[in-house]
């Protein structure tokens, strides 16, 4: 297996003539690194996706000008990639295939000027056999044409070969692509049965040798079967005393499949898997006989400042930040993810709801997946399942999000067809979809065709559905859609829907949403009061590029407000509200807003506390402002503590957590009034890095006063530079209204903070000295090292 990722690809935007021909001179093209997203470089411009259009999904009836819907980034149009390939003469007897983890979108792959195949959906992985097109023993040319139509996405899709590419040369006797399927139908304390189906393609009689190793690498089971001709070979192995894949100890086994010709190994595939049992019932979900509720979030695929180009370390950081909050599940809305996400969720013990589509036949946008559905849905769905079925983290397949076919007569048939495809590929996981028109989906029989219907934004109806359909297994497939901007507090604090302000921001009191949404507190109550619900998937874990609701018709607004975490990966206040519910074992006490309000002396400021303590006492400059206790009779006092009107005076606001008897628990949180900007502080998430050209350090930059208090209004420009074997990929503060380019070493603080992303160089280890400058302040304290 050879990685074709890296910085050896030539790229050009546009559609030059004969671009697939080896003879064409590409010296004027740029050299880029794959995974590559050509659009993240910008510039942001409302004209990039300025279409008068209807987003049917949002119930719009008239065409309107949607400005930042796809982030205002230039992802539309055609781009070409070319890569010279040295193919050894010895490969003349082998089958050579190229594997694309994801290309956005409508890709056509050429080899030596001849078309090999095409794959329109940007989110599924695909492979092509290059053998008939290659000239072994010399240089060959791989070329890929990418074309992104306008009006094809409701969020920022990215553009280009944005995931990894691999080349593989195999013996004519080999395991078919994604040809190993592992299930664990019987898991007990004493043993687990591991059933393996291996698809073998061969031109001669061979044997299939299968070996299972436990998480420590010891061989624990093996089996050999003769394979006289191309076939699907079935094997059943037994593992004694299995270590199970659990959320707290996600034990991972490996299964090595070898094709042997006499004594010679001619092909080998290693597949990681987990031994675990899933049980879904109308009263809950069990993982290995332990009840687990989905404390889930929906995630789009972009990686914030890095755009859509996949970076393993950036994926890991997102998962780490979410897991720290108590999140135990991710819904890959609304498309299959990069394989890196599933690999990491396997390792960390995060459950995944793997989703295929945002549209079936009825369009949400003019040039979306509905145009591809009839020709491609089966291929895309099978590709998703075959690639992902061995990941223990994946627990459900979702065939659609709010598909508009949900209320139409033919919707039921389509659902039955897609569900059958899933069951055909994998009988072990239930099939689901998320509905925002439950009545339509129930009436046309669509919801009943699924193993598990998911409800989007319907906490008010859970009880009614339960009464009507007591046998149904149900969960909140999409919840909340609370909107906020990190660090922006707007007074008074109150529930607002579809509320727009000239600032282009939403309030961080975490009470605002579009008309279909609601604050997190409402879903907490619905889930807590209805223990049969399997849990929820919040819209969304992180902010993402595009869909800047409620500012979808306004400019500038380039990124979403939905995230619990902002575009940089900085937690918003809401993060602590979730943590207080989702990690009851860890004390959480979070006080908002910040306490730097010059000019507001004597005015009322609401103070909210997100905590899992029973109550708390608030003090301003040492004076008690009273005790608040959680109040189950008031939806907005049940999960948060509120002091509606604290008269502002600069100084120190302090909160002390109390138990049910009003005794201090020992936890305290403080907000202090900041003075003038006086110094920058830096903190790198990792200082020891791998010199592989992929590893990243995420550096948080804060503007503080002389006492180290963050200056919440600091918005100065920042410049980051490095000396040593690394480069600055991006600097930004996460302001959804910012139109400054994200990549490069310039950025701007937003509410006193910014993030710099630093990448190592391949094969050049060494010391990396980082310098951060902002409005005359310089900090050189961040020293990294790559090995
Ligand atoms: C949902 C939809 C998501 C996103 C969200 C915003 O209805 O499924 O994709 O658009 O609304 O609130």
Residue 158 tokens, joined: 């990215």
pLDDT for 1 equals 85
d(CA 695, CA 726): 10
pLDDT at 588: 98
State pLDDT tens for residues 299-333: 999 999 999 999 999 999 999 999 999 999 999 99
pLDDT of residue 64: 80
| pLDDT for res 707 | 98
Q: What local confidence, expressed as pLDDT, does residue 194 receive? A: 98
CA atoms within 13 A on the CB side of 134: 27
CB 359 within 8 A of CB 370: yes
Annotated catalytic sites, by residue?
Answer: 402, 478
Q: Write down the pLDDT at residue 50.
A: 63
Alpha carbons 109 and 134: distance in angstroms, whole number = 13
Ligand 1 in reach of 153 Cβ (< 6 A): no
pLDDT reading at 172 higher than 90: yes
Is the CB of 514 inside a 6 Å radius of any atom of ligand 1? yes
Mean pLDDT along residues 493-505:
97
| Gap between the Cα atoms of 534 and 513, Å rounded | 23
480 token code pair:
């909340």
**pTM for the structure as a whole:** 0.98
What's the gap in Å between 520 CA and the centre of ligand 1?
15
Angle at 476 between CA 471 and CA 482, to 5 degrees: 160
Average the pLDDT over 662-685 and give the result. Answer: 98
Contact criterion met (CB below 8 Å) for 119 and 152? no
Question: What is the distance between the alpha carbons of residues 22 and 8, in angstroms, rounded to a whole number?
Answer: 16
Whether 481 is in the pocket of ligand 1, judged by its Cβ within 6 Å, is yes
CB 358 within 8 A of CB 364: yes
The CATH code belonging to domain 2-170 is 2.60.120.260
Point out the ligand 1 atom lying closest to the alpha carbon of residue 514: 12
Domain 589-671, CATH class in plain words: mainly beta
**What is the β-pairing status of strands 191-201 and 174-187?**
antiparallel
Provide the token pair at 511: 């009470």
Ligand 1 neighbour 671 (Cβ under 6 A): no
Task: Work out the percent of the chain whose per-residue pLDDT is above 70.
Answer: 99
State how beta strands 475-480 and 452-456 pair: parallel
Q: Residue 607's pLDDT is what? A: 98
Structure tokens at 656: 């002390």
Q: What is the mean pLDDT of the chain?
A: 97
Task: Give ranges for CATH 2.60.40.10 in the chain.
Answer: 174-273, 589-671, 679-786
- What are the C-alpha distances in Å from 468 to residues 534, 586, 776? 17, 38, 66
Q: What percent of the chain has pLDDT over 90?
A: 96
Phi, psi of 575 (to 5 degrees): -50, -40
Instruction: Please check whether residue 419 is in contact with residue 381, taking contact to mean a CB–CB distance below 8 angstroms.
Output: no
- Summarised one tens digit per residue, pLDDT across range 247-295 is 999 999 999 999 999 999 999 999 999 999 999 999 999 999 999 999 9
pLDDT at 117 over 70: yes
CATH code of 278-482+517-544, in short, is: 3.20.20.80
Average of pLDDT values for 97-125?
98
Q: pLDDT confidence of 162, banded at 50, 70, 90? A: very high
Cα of 548 vs centre of ligand 1, distance in Å, is: 11
User: How far is residue 368's CA from residue 354's CA, in Å, rounded to a whole number?
Assistant: 20
Task: Give yes or no for residue 437 CB within 6 A of ligand 1.
Answer: no
158 C-alpha to ligand 1 centroid (Å): 19
C-alpha–C-alpha distance, residues 105 and 88, integer Å: 31
CATH topology of domain 174-273: Immunoglobulin-like (2.60.40)
Boundaries of CATH 3.20.20.80 in the chain? 278-482+517-544
Element (H, E) at 579: helix 574-582
Contact status, residue 343 vs residue 250, Cβ threshold 8 Å: no
Q: Which atom of ligand 1 is nearest to the CA of 57?
A: 7
Which superfamily does 679-786 belong to? Immunoglobulins (2.60.40.10)
Closest ligand 1 atom to residue 58 Cα is 7
Q: What is the pLDDT of residues 612-627, one digit of tens each?
A: 999 999 999 999 999 9
From-to residues of CATH 2.60.120.260 in the chain: 2-170
* pLDDT at 56 exceeding the cut of 80: no
Q: What is the DSSP string of 585-645?
A: TS--EEEES-S--TT-TTSEEEEEEEESSSEEEEEETTEEEEEEE--TTSTTTSSEEEEEE
Q: Given a cut of 90, is residue 66 above it in pLDDT?
A: no
> What confidence category does residue 575 fall into, taking pLDDT thresholds of 50, 70 and 90?
very high
What pLDDT sits at residue 378? 98
**Does the C-beta of 388 come closer than 6 Å to ligand 1?**
no
Q: For residue 199, with 0-12 CB atoms within 10 Å meaning exposed, 13-18 middle and 19 or more buried, which class applies?
A: middle
């Amino acid at each position: 297996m050879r990685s074709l990722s890296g910085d050896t690809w030539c790229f050009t935007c546009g559609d030059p003539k004969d671009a697939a021909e080896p003879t064409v001179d590409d010296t004027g093209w740029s050299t880029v690194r794959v995974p590559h997203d050509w659009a993240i470089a910008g510039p942001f411009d409302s004209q990039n996706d300025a279409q008068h259009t209807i987003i049917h999904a949002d119930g719009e009836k008239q065409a309107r000008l949607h400005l930042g819907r796809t982030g205002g980034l230039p992802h539309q149009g055609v781009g070409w990639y070319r890569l010279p390939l040295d193919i050894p003469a010895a490969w003349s007897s082998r089958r050579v295939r190229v594997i694309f983890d994801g290309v956005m979108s409508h890709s056509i792959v050429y080899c030596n000027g001849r078309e090999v195949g095409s794959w329109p959906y940007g989110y599924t992985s695909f492979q092509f056999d290059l053998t008939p097109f290659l000239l072994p023993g010399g240089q060959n040319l791989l070329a890929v044409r990418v074309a992104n139509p306008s009006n094809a996405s409701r969020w920022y899709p990215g553009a280009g070969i944005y995931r990894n590419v691999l080349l593989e040369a195999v013996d004519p006797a080999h395991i078919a692509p994604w040809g190993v399927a592992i299930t664990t139908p019987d898991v007990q304390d004493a043993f687990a049965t591991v059933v393996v189906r291996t698809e073998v393609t061969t031109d001669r009689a061979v044997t299939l040798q299968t070996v299972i190793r436990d998480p420590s690498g010891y061989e624990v089971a093996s089996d050999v079967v003769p394979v006289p001709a191309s076939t699907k070979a079935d094997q059943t192995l037994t593992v004694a005393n299995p270590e199970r894949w659990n959320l707290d100890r996600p034990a991972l086994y490996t299964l090595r499949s070898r094709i042997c010709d006499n004594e010679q190994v001619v092909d080998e595939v290693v597949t990681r898997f987990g031994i675990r049992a899933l049980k879904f019932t109308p009263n809950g979900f069990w993982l290995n006989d332990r009840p687990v509720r989905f404390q889930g979030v929906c995630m789009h695929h972009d990686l914030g400042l890095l755009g859509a180009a996949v970076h393993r370390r950036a994926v890991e950081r997102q998962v780490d930040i979410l897991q720290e909050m108590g999140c135990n599940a991710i819904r890959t809305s609304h498309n299959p993810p990069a394989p890196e996400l599933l690999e990491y969720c396997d390792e960390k013990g995060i459950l995944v709801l793997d989703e295929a589509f945002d549209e079936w036949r009825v369009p949400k946008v003019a040039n979306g997946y509905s145009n591809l559905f009839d020709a491609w849905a089966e291929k895309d769905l099978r590709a998703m399942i075959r690639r992902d079925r061995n990941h223990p983290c994946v627990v459900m397949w979702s065939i659609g999000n709010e598909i508009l076919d949900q209320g139409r007569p033919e919707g039921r048939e389509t659902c039955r067809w897609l569900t059958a495809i899933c069951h055909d590929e994998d009988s072990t996981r239930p099939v689901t979809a998320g509905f925002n028109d439950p009545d339509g989906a129930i009436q046309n029989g669509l919801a009943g065709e699924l193993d598990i219907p998911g409800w989007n934004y319907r906490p008010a109806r859970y009880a009614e559905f339960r009464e009507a359909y007591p046998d149904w297994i149900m969960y909140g497939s999409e919840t909340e859609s609370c909107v906020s901007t990190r660090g922006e507090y707007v007074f008074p604090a109150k529930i607002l829907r579809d509320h727009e302000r000239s600032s282009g921001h939403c309030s961080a009191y975490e009470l605002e949403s579009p008309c279909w949404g609601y604050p997190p507190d409402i879903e907490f109550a619905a889930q807590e009061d209805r223990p049969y619900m399997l849990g929820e998937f919040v819209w969304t874990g992180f902010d993402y590029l595009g869909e800047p609701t409620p500012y979808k018709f306004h400019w500038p607004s380039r990124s979403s407000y939905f995230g619990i975490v902002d575009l940089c990966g900085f937690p918003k206040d809401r993060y602590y509200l979730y943590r207080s519910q989702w990690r009851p074992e860890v004390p959480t006490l979070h006080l908002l807003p910040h306490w730097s309000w010059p000019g507001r002396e004597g005015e009322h400021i609401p103070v909210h506390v997100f905590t899992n303590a029973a109550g708390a006492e608030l003090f301003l400059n040492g004076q008690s402002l009273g005790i608040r206790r959680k109040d189950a009779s008031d939806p907005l006092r049940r999960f948060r503590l509120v002091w509606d009107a604290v008269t502002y005076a600069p100084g120190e606001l302090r909160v002390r957590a109390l138990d049910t008897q009003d005794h201090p628990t020992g936890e305290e949180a403080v907000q202090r009034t900041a003075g003038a900007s006086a110094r920058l502080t830096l903190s790198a998430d990792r200082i020891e890095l791998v010199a592989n050209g992929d590893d990243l350090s995420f550096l948080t930059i804060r503007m503080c006063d002389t006492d180290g208090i963050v200056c919440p209004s600091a918005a100065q420009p920042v410049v980051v530079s490095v000396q040593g074997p690394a480069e600055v990929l991006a600097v930004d503060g996460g302001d959804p209204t910012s139109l400054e380019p994200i990549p490069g070493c310039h950025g701007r603080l937003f509410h006193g903070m910014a993030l710099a992303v630093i990448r190592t160089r391949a094969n050049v280890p060494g010391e990396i000295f980082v310098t951060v400058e902002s409005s005359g302040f310089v900090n050189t304290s961040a020293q990294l090292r790559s090995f």
